[in-house]
Each structure stands twice: as C-alpha cells, then as structure tokens.
Structure 1
C-alpha cells in the first residue's frame, strides 16, 4: 500500500479530502494536515513557501510516511510540487493548478488594494464565481461552502510571492522544481477540472516530459466532483487520459 500526503487549497481545510479518503482502498497511510493558517493549524504572521514545506516535512517525518505520493489541490498543488522537489516522494498529483502565473497573477496584483480594505470579500467571491461550483453535486457544494475560512490576511499571506516577485521568476522556480522531479524519477500527474490548452500542456511537458494529464470534469474541484476517480489516480491504479 501507499503512503499519501494530501494538501488542500487556499482558505479550505483537511475536510475537503474526506470524499477522496473515503474512496481510497483500505491500507493506505494517509496524512491530510491543515496547512498553516487553516483549520486547526496555528496562524503565522507570514506564509513563505519554504517555511510551509519545512513544516509539512516535520509532520511527514512524525507520521512516519516514506516516499509519499504528494497530492495537492490548487495552492496545495504548488506546495506539493515544491515539497517533492526537495524531500523524498514517489509521485506528485496536481489537482487543477496551472504552474504558470499568467492572468491569475495579474488579477491578484490588480486586486491588492481591495484585498487590503473593507471590501476584500468581493475579490474572493469573484474568484469563487469562476470555479464551476454549479457543476458540483449538492453534498460537494456543501463541503466547499463550509470547510473554508477566507480571511484577507490569509489570502495576502499566501499570495505575497505573487505580489512581490515578477511572474517570470515564479514560473522559472516552478520550472526548476519540475526539472528536479524529472531528474529524480518522480512522476507528475496533472488532473485538470477542464480541458487544458495545448499551450498549458506544452509548458508542463517542457519541464516534465513524462507528465501525465487527465481531465476530471468538475471545475476547480475535480476531487469533489469525482472522488472515486481521483482516489484511483492518487493511488496509481488508473491510467491517465487526455
């Protein structure tokens, strides 16, 4: 059986992995922590990626996981990619996170003044409106609505790199991480909630030539739309398809 580390998305917590954990075959050792600042985890004054990764590695070592599959959703996929580039892992499963900054970075930078003011929630609500929540079954939508605690300091804290660094530098870092995974023989599987563009796939395979790409319809939450299929992908028992 497989050791598995599950990393949720920004503002959410470990509860969003409940359906996937229920769908996994018995026997896997699964660690699904709350990221710093989320759920029951302590709030930090800032959330540098390297510090978050170090914190997670301490949890992995304490739990006794060995070469885990690291699966991350959204922001969690960025962290999963960074984690596996510097710590032992067998595979990375990226759930609906494009590693190029592009228009998302532009939107975050444009929204910074609002995020620092009393109407910050309008920014988050606008982003939620584009996540395809209407495609989710009712129980999944309930989980999306309840297993979350958006706060401006949390958004600004985790998006600080986007606000402070050029997009090209961030993308170069992500490319270097993918290159390191490829060099170490660590598999990479991108599960997209929508058909990705040829340009997006080409960028990924420039740095991870053997990366697998699977579309699991479900907007930004493919693991809630089809937890059984995503559980199989994480466990490595389902072939990819494009």
Structure 2
C-alpha cells in the first residue's frame, strides 16, 4: 500500500489515516495542513487503500482481508500499535483493524457500523450497480452527502475523485449486499466488544447528531465511547472542520 508519512516518532502512538471509498490519501490534506500548524512533529501516515490512488487493486475487498493488508503496510512502515483514524469506509475498516491487530485507539469519522437502510438501498440497486450505468447509483449517493455545504476548495477535493471503478464499488460493498443484517450486526457487535476488552479508546466524529437507536447501540456495546458532532459538513466533517479534526488527531 502506498503512503505519505509526516512528523517524527516520539512517545505517542503514530496516527494512521484511512480514507473513504473512491477517494485517496490526498483527501486528508486540509486536516494535515492544520495539524502542521498546531503539532508539526505529530507522526502521521496516510495510506491509499487497496484499489485506490497508487495502491494496487485486489480480487477481493472483504473487510477482514483488507484489514490484513493494512496491517502488513502498517508493519512495513515501522508502526507499532497506532491510533487508526478512518473516514466513511475507512472508519469501518479502522474498527475492524483495531479489533484484530495492535492499536491504541480508533477515530471513526462519520461511519455508522450497522447497515441500517443502506443495505436495502444497495440491494434494490443491485441490477444497476452491475450494469454499465452503475455510476448513477454513486452519483445519487454523493448528492445526499452534503458536499454543497463544504468550503469550495473542499468541494473540489471531493468531486475530483470522480466515479470509482465498478469493480471497486461491487468489491467493497459485497459484504453489505450479500450478508444478512443480523450477521453484519453480530460481527460489528463482536468487534466493539473486543475493543472494550482490549481497552482501546474509540472516538466517533459525526457530521450530524446520531440517530437515537444507533447511539443507544453504540453506548451499549462500548460505554466508554466518545462522540463528537461537527455540524455543517454532511458526510465530510473532517473537511468542514479540518482544524477541529486536527486537534483530535493531535490528542
């Protein structure tokens, strides 16, 4: 996996950054610019996930398998038990990673861990997703992410990613589309129970208030969870409030 490295090693755990589906490590630039102001020596490594940016594609994008690839890359980068921060898909991946490999903390940026209605949306659009017109499904999802609320430069950063390859969407969404909601919930509940047992700090950063049912589940599986809402940026609170997110990364 390709990565950019910043800062230098000190007594604090390094921070690993995992972007969302269709994006790459460059989406962290506004946050990293702010971090360079308040904590220029903070050790941070921003990765391109498999199939994104300069990282090679895979035949399968199951979360467990991608987490194993990330662990290999983290180890190759010389990092030991990092804080793993991820946006969207990266937030789910950060959670799975920390449940299976050494980690000191998780920062999940706007990625609910239960499928909710998203699974039904994907299943309903399955035929279109597998057709040449698959991009319209992605465009429809982007339209609901609140991109228009972001600063102009952040909007350009998001839109510059374009439409991801079809195999990337089908690969990373395969588990959601094929696994039962009950099994999906069981796996994520087990992950969070593992984090609690390991004493790993978990910080959820959302762009909107959590839906009450989900908040109750989150507090039930991990009572020590920290929840921060950075409003006004829709699905991209780290781009709407890069200075605030930089403070969270700085610890």
State TM-score, norm by structure 1: 0.95
User: Is the 1:12–1:149 contact (alpha carbons within 8 Å) kept by the matching residues of 2?
Assistant: no
Offset, 1:234: 2.2
1:180 corresponds in structure 2 to: 194
Offset, 1:59: 1.0
**Selected match of 2:140 from 115, 119, 126:** 126
Can you list the C-alpha shifts for 1:63-118, whole angstroms capped at 9, x where unaligned? 11122110010000110000000111111001001111111111011111000111
User: Is the 2:13–2:104 contact (alpha carbons within 8 Å) kept by the matching residues of 1?
Assistant: no
2:23 corresponds in structure 1 to: 12
Structure 2 CA distance, aligned partners of 1:149 and 1:43?
A: 16
Q: How does 1:204-219 map to 2 (within 5 A)?
A: 204-217=218-231, 218-219=233-234
1:222 aligns with 2:233: no
User: What is the root-mean-square deviation in Å for CA atoms of aligned residues?
Assistant: 1.1
Structure 2 CA distance, aligned partners of 1:102 and 1:46?
A: 23
4+ runs deviating over 2 angstroms = none
Identify which range, 43-52 or 201-210, moves more after superposition.
Answer: 43-52
2:250 corresponds in structure 1 to: 235
Structure 2 CA distance, aligned partners of 1:82 and 1:201?
A: 19
Gaps of 5+ in 2: 1-11
User: Is the 1:15–1:147 contact (alpha carbons within 8 Å) kept by the matching residues of 2?
Assistant: no
Structure 2 CA distance, aligned partners of 1:221 and 1:42?
A: 25
User: Is the 1:93–1:191 contact (alpha carbons within 8 Å) kept by the matching residues of 2?
Assistant: yes
Structure 2 CA distance, aligned partners of 1:121 and 1:139?
A: 24
Gaps of 5+ in 1: 237-242
Offset, 1:51: 1.5
State TM-score, norm by structure 2: 0.91
Structure 1 CA distance, aligned partners of 2:22 and 2:162?
A: 5
**Selected match of 1:80 from 94, 98, 117:** 94
Offset, 1:149: 4.8
Can you list the C-alpha shifts for 1:143-194, whole angstroms capped at 9, x where unaligned? 0011355121100000010122101111110111111001111011110101
Structure 1 CA distance, aligned partners of 2:181 and 2:26?
A: 31
